[in-house]
Amino acid sequence: MRRGREKRRPRLPLSFVVGRYFVYVLLGAILTVGVPLLVFEALLDQGSVLPANYGERHLQQTIETLSTPGSFDVTGLSSAYLYAHLTASGDVLGTDMGEEDLAQARALVASLEARGTTGHSAESEERSARAAFSRGDGTWCVLSYDILPQWSDRSLRDSWPNPQDIMMGAIVVPTIALVVLVALRASRVLTRKMSPLVDAAEAVGAGEIDFAVQTSTVAQIDDVLAAMERMRRSLRDSLEEQWSAEERQRVEVAALAHDLKSPLTVIRGNAELLGEDAQAGGLSQEQAACAEAIRTASAEIDAFVAQIITTSQGREASSREAVDMEELAGRLASRARELVCARGLALDVETSALPDIRPSWDAHAVGRAVMNLVSNACDYARTRVSLGLAAANGELVITVADDGPGFSPAALAHGRERFFRDDAARGGGEGHFGLGLSIALEVAHSHGGTLELSNRVSPDGSETGAVARLTLPLKGI
């Protein structure tokens, strides 16, 4: 696409562009119809073609000529007629008729003989006629003629098509060719004139906004192009504003994440000091477990902060590696137990035999997704949360359930959407931002998996809790 607006050219209305092709067809039709008609009239004037009523107008004169006693002479017979010279019994004495016409001539003579007619008799059909007359010597003559123009030359009559058919062909074929050629020309011209519109639409559809829309010589198309130019500028300004806002957000998030590292370092350092005291026997077993949980959680938060900084800088944060199934299951169960116990709830863990496959996963992302599901279950559970891991049909199915009120119909439909909150329906409350399930869904999709939400139903039909099922394909490396 050419850059920059072209120099302004004269604008034509679309009606003129289209209408001129109708004029072309009209002028061409005058030629394709008029020329054959003029040629046909000239042939009539010079006698090369006989008019359609020639046979009817000259029939009586021809009958009188052929009725003259003596030898039967057809050398002067007009080419408008076909003749048959027959005996009273139908024997052919001379003819230039075809078999079908000859059979009809015999039938006509037989009919006249049966009635005892001695004069002449005529019969006509839609486009042809026949006349039979007695010659006075016991023989009959039957003349057949078409009510159509005919060649005056007998050899042309017998070898060429009827002049009227030739004239119609000379009109119809060129007229059809004219319409087709004009239509093709109009199609090419209109396509060329609309090409700036197509180019602009394709550029916008491809996400390109840094271009100048061309102009067109057709007023209506140029008006649409001008509207598209305004739309392009508006879209460009909007996107540039959006990009600027996103860049500011990335900078702010990176700065905030960087600021979090200092207090995290303090928390992690103190947790390590408490761990050293625990090793020296200065803490009770429960206190030592809490100190270790603080240290582990702070390390995870530190990793998340580093990931946020990496993402805000536009770099790929995902790190995939071969994941051991048993090790992953143990780590998920341990982290879930720490989280559930910290909320004063009980945790049930059920792990079936896992296959000896090492899929290529981002283990940190998978762990974050599962912990989001566990955290969501803790928010609504009454007494306990369950975590299940099982392999089936080439997939790892991670199930997190609680004994709370279950998902509402709205949550089942929209719970995986970012920022969706349904606190009233689930009885939850503070600290929810509607991100946990959406993050889990994004992790599932990034690994080619799914996240499904449902409710557990007791035998009596009542709902007994919510179920989140994270499915990941087991693709080995």
Q: How many CB atoms lie within 10 A of CB 64?
A: 11
Token representation of residue 6 = 């072209």
Indicate whether 301 and 325 sit together in one domain. no
Whose CA is closest to 152, among 72, 54, 63, 36? 54
Q: Is 0.75 topped by the overall pTM?
A: no
Q: How many domains does the chain have?
A: 3
Q: Report phi then psi at 34, rounded to 5.
A: -70, -40
Indicate whether 457 and 326 sit together in one domain. yes
Indicate whether 266 and 346 sit together in one domain. no
**C-alpha distances out from residue 4 to 8, 210, 212, 214, 362, Å:** 12, 10, 5, 7, 48
Token representation of residue 268 = 């992690």
Whose CA is closest to 426, among 463, 374, 380, 458? 380
DSSP string, 71-136: S---TT--TTEEEEEEETT--EEEE---HHHHHHHHHHHHHHHHHT--SEEEEE-SSEEEEEEE-S
Indicate whether 288 and 267 sit together in one domain. yes
In what helix (H) or strand (E) does residue 378 lie, and over which residues does it extend?
Answer: helix 363-380
Residue 434 has a pLDDT of 65
Indicate whether 337 and 460 sit together in one domain. yes
The amino acid sitting at 193 is: K
Report d(CA 233, CA 251) in Å as an integer. 27
Indicate whether 352 and 304 sit together in one domain. no
220 in helix, strand or coil? helix
Indicate whether 67 and 132 sit together in one domain. yes
**What torsion do the CA atoms of 61, 65, 69, 75 make, to the nearest 10 degrees?**
-160
Residue labelled with tokens 């080995």: 476
Label residues 325-354 b or e (16+ Cβ within 10 Å = b).
beebbebbbebbbbbbeeeebebebeeeeb
Q: 220 with 271: CB under 8 angstroms?
A: no
Token representation of residue 100 = 């079908």
Report d(CA 74, CA 55) in Å as an integer. 15
Contacts of 374 (CB under 8 A, 6+ apart): 336, 339, 340, 385, 387, 400
Pairing relationship of beta strands 463-473 and 395-402 according to DSSP bridges: antiparallel
Pick the last residue of a domain from 99, 131, 147: 147
How would you write the pLDDT of the chain (477 residues) with one tens digit per residue? 444 444 556 788 888 888 999 999 999 999 999 999 999 999 999 999 999 999 999 999 999 888 877 788 888 899 999 999 999 889 999 999 999 999 999 999 998 888 887 666 666 777 889 999 988 788 899 999 999 999 999 999 989 999 999 999 999 999 999 999 999 999 999 899 888 888 888 888 887 878 888 888 888 888 888 888 888 888 888 888 888 887 887 777 777 776 777 787 777 777 778 878 778 777 787 887 787 778 777 777 777 676 666 666 555 455 788 888 899 999 999 989 988 988 889 999 998 888 888 999 988 889 989 998 998 899 889 999 999 999 988 899 999 999 988 888 888 888 888 777 765 444 444 445 567 788 889 889 989 999 999 998 877 767 778 999 999 998 754
Residue 399 within a domain = yes
Residue labelled with tokens 């059809």: 176
DSSP string, 182-212: HHHHHHHHHHHHHHHHHHHHHHHHTT--SS-
Pick the last residue of a domain from 147, 182, 200: 147
Whose CA is closest to 362, among 328, 316, 319? 319
Residue 191 within a domain = no
Residue 20 within a domain = no
Indicate whether 302 and 333 sit together in one domain. no
Report d(CA 442, CA 436) in Å as an integer. 10
Indicate whether 370 and 468 sit together in one domain. yes
Report d(CA 130, CA 95) in Å as an integer. 14
Residue 263 within a domain = yes
The amino acid sitting at 115 is: R
Indicate whether 330 and 294 sit together in one domain. no
Q: How many CB atoms lie within 10 A of CB 411?
A: 20
Q: Report phi then psi at 386, rounded to 5.
A: -125, 145
Domain hosting residue 261, numbered range: 219-310
Indicate whether 446 and 384 sit together in one domain. yes
- Please, what is the Cα angle at 349 between 346 and 353, to 5 degrees? 175
In what helix (H) or strand (E) does residue 24 lie, and over which residues does it extend?
Answer: helix 14-46
Residue 159 within a domain = no
Cα of 381 vs its chain's centroid, Å: 49
Residue 208 within a domain = no
Indicate whether 139 and 71 sit together in one domain. yes
In this structure, what CATH number is given to the domain that contains residue 418? 3.30.565.10
231-243 confidence digits (pLDDT tens): 888 888 888 888 8
Pick the last residue of a domain from 122, 147, 172: 147
Largest CA-CA distance found in the chain, in angstroms, rounded = 157
Cα dihedral across residues 405, 408, 412, 414: positive or negative: negative
391 in helix, strand or coil? strand
In this structure, what CATH number is given to the domain that contains residue 88? 3.30.450.30
DSSP state of 218: B
In this structure, what CATH number is given to the domain that contains residue 232? 1.10.287
Residue 24 within a domain = no
Residue 439 within a domain = yes
